[in-house]
Amino acid sequence: MSILVFASIIFVWGVRYNNIKDEFKHFNLPTWVRDMVGIFKFSFAIMLFNDNPEVVRIGTLGIAVLMIAALFTHIRLKSAQPKMLPSFFLLCTCLAIAYMSAQLHLAG
């Protein structure tokens, strides 16, 4: 599942970066916020491949926090529900990974 999260972040923030720029502009968010979110997302995504389950959990929870912020932004601006689905699914996936990594940490 970590590779799914990593690949989706690379796809959205790499291949579809122009959409990200348009979305942040549509939401009236400054470019420095967009850049900071991107840096955090890439940093957290890289953490998903660490051997230490605690580092993986920190990475997934970091992405989860960013997805909660994205969902609140979509709700605040009354975006169509289909636009919220990617954030919601990424949030759910990250929470599942965080739970599994916590179980590994407790077992080991």
Q: Could you tell me the residue ranges of all domains in the chain?
A: 2-107
pLDDT-derived band at 108, boundaries 50, 70, 90: low
pLDDT for 35 equals 96
> What does residue 31 show for φ and ψ, rounded to 5 degrees?
-65, -30
Q: Using the 8-state DSSP alphabet, how is residue 16 labeled?
A: T
Residue 38 · residue 12 · CB < 8 Å: no
* CA–CA gap between residue 86 and residue 50 (Å, rounded): 24
Report how far residue 86's alpha carbon sits from residue 52's, in angstroms, rounded to the nearest whole number.
Answer: 27
Please state the pTM of the whole predicted model. 0.89
User: What mean pLDDT comes out for the span 44-63?
Assistant: 93
Percent of the chain with pLDDT over 70: 98
Query: Integer distance in angstroms from the first to the last C-alpha of the chain?
Result: 20
How many angstroms separate the CA atoms of 34 and 1, rounded? 25
Eight-class DSSP state of 51: S
